[in-house]
Amino acid sequence: MSSKLQQVKPEDIPLGMPLAWHVYDKSGNLLMQEGAVIETQKQIDGLCARGLYREKSQKNARVEPVSQPAQKVAEKSLPAPQIVELLDLKLGIGDTVQMQDITSDKHRYFVRMIGFLNKRSVLVSHPRQEDKLSYIKEGAGFLVRGFAGTRTYEFNTNVINVCLTPYPYLHLAFPAQVRSINMRGAVRIKLKQVCSIESLDSGTKTSAIIEDMSISGARVQAGKPFGKVGEEVTISLRLQFAEENQVFMIPSMIRNVHQELDAQTGNEVYMHGMEFIQTQSVDLTVLQNYIYKFMLES
């Protein structure tokens, strides 16, 4: 066995997700390329029983996301924040929003928007962790972030009442001002991120690469078309968020498909224009916050 190889353990291989590295046998023969998708635990057990190895210089997929450092595309500058009234945003009841406490811990909670009374309070579901109610005390301060259509918004608030009946929810102080950015046509971030595309119709999975992404969609490269225009799929990918590597599963729709020549290899590839479907998805909200935060910090 080559000294440049190290053994792959069964727990290192994620089911249904593209591999983060090439896989070899103990003699150094290539068995599977980076991006290959293993569908069943039986396949993993069979491969590992024979001996499975990867290069030592490559990071474990469960530790590092498989992507080049994200770079902002210098197409347009980020729009300037605007100060708006909360009711002008036409918030949707049931929308997922993020609450981040303003202490040094900066805990993040994802809650549902229940309702609001103008100039009085905003009602949200009670934060939970592992299906248990989180301890939230009256007076606690939070930064609330969310999305309304193509607009991001954030505002500072504090808890004015914790209600447990007839169901757990919070009254938040109605914000005096809300900072909002219209992200339509805003910059996109380049990722070169390995992902998996699952067709909702057939259940088949395809390894692909996200070329760039915005809060509303992504441009995805694959060796062959993974669906037709108008078809719904799920995009699965790993990104580092809140100092942890997380797997995101994003409902999406194929908006266009066309062929291009890969600038590096000269091979023909298929480019897919994807639109994220605006569902009540915590994954989508987290991903949008990741993109928004990256844009602001770049």
pLDDT tens digits along 210-247 = 988 887 789 999 989 999 999 999 999 888 765 667 78
pLDDT of residue 240: 72
**Structure tokens, 140:** 């606690």
What fold, for 82-182?
Pnp Oxidase; Chain A (2.30.110)
pLDDT, one tens digit per residue, over 41-76 is 677 777 777 778 887 754 443 333 333 344 444 344
**Structure tokens, 135:** 């301890």
| H or E stretch covering 282 | helix 282-297
219 has which bridge partners?
212, 273
More confident residue, 187 or 86: 86
Q: Does domain 5-55 have CATH number 3.40.1340?
A: no
pLDDT of residue 280: 61
**Structure tokens, 271:** 């480019």
Average pLDDT over residues 270-294: 78
How many separate helices (H) and strands (E) can be counted in the chain?
2, 21
Please write down the long-range contacts of 56-59, taking CB distance under 8 Å and 24 or more positions apart. 56/4, 56/5, 56/6, 57/4, 58/20, 58/21, 58/22, 59/20, 59/21
- Indicate the pTM of the whole model: 0.54
pLDDT, one tens digit per residue, over 159-207 is 999 999 999 999 999 999 999 987 765 567 787 888 999 998 888 999 9
Rounded distance, CA 275 to CA 259, Å? 18
pLDDT, one tens digit per residue, over 23-33 is 787 777 777 76
Report the percentage of the chain scoring pLDDT > 70. Answer: 77
pLDDT of residue 66: 35
Every domain of the chain and the residues it spans:
5-55, 82-182, 189-278
pLDDT, one tens digit per residue, over 113-164 is 999 999 999 999 999 987 899 999 999 999 998 887 777 899 999 999 999 9
CATH, domain range 189-278? 2.40.10.220
Rounded distance, CA 218 to CA 255, Å? 10
